[in-house]
Amino acid sequence: MSQDLDKIIAGLKYWRFNLKNPKYDQNFQSRLIIQKLAFLCQFLGIKSRYFFTLYKNGPYSPDLTNDYYEYASQVANLDTDYRPTKKDIDVYDKIEKHVLSHPLNKDYQAELLEAVATVFYLKQFNPDYIEDDLFEKTKEEKPFIRDNIIIIAINIVKELMFKPEDLTDELKEELDMWDRAED
């Protein structure tokens, strides 16, 4: 089995997922979840050879699909010997904190993951997009995702993409000002 798939299984294990075997036609949600989480892992820094495209139903990787069909039982049983690195765990934690622990994840997991992955992809390849652009483009690609979920996804993506080095002295000062005002 490729280490690329192993890293994803390790993530699913870390998040204590209980996925149904992706090989069976009716287990569509399992396949959708693996695709979107694998995409987020890769774009947050866990390297893999999977190539994702967005167009309408993405982010989607046909190579990843081939892998989880071939090793379907390992995916369903979360069977892996891969030991996540510190960097992997940081990424798993980030996804858990901002996406999987979100209240909407309980009942709208597929829709939320689809929205977050789509917004993330759009922002990654179009860094100049502002929130209005992200909303409009996501709606164009996925008209069936509800407006409120897209808005929440945009906020989640901002948190996922935030890097501590982005916190400039100027921003810190502004935040401190707000903190003081709250006191």
Partner 1 sequence: MSSDPNNVLKKLIEYSNKINSKAFNLTRFLILAITSYIKDGIQYRELKTLLNISDGKLKANIDVLQEMGYINKIKVQVDQKSMHIYMVTESGSNELQKIIEWIEILKKE
Where on the chain is the footprint of partner 1 (CB under 8 A)? 25-29, 31-32, 35, 55-57, 60, 62, 65-66, 69, 107-111, 141-144
Residue 31 CB neighbour total at 10 angstroms: 22
Cis peptide before 84 (omega within 30 of 0): no
Distant-in-sequence, close-in-space partners of 68: CB < 8 Å, separation ≥ 6? 5, 22, 23, 31, 34, 75
User: Closer CB to partner 1, residue 9 or residue 113?
Assistant: 113
**Smallest gap, in angstroms, from Cβ of residue 124 to partner 1?**
21
26/168 with CB nearer partner 1: 26
User: Which residue carries 């906020």 as its tokens?
Assistant: 155
Please, which residue, 55 or 178, has the CB nearer to partner 1? 55
CB 69 within 8 A of CB 22: yes
Min separation Cβ 52 and partner 1, Å: 13
* Cβ proximity to partner 1, 35 vs 80, nearer residue: 35
* Min dist. Cβ of residue 108 to partner 1 (A): 5
Phi then psi for 104, rounded to 5 degrees?
A: -70, -20
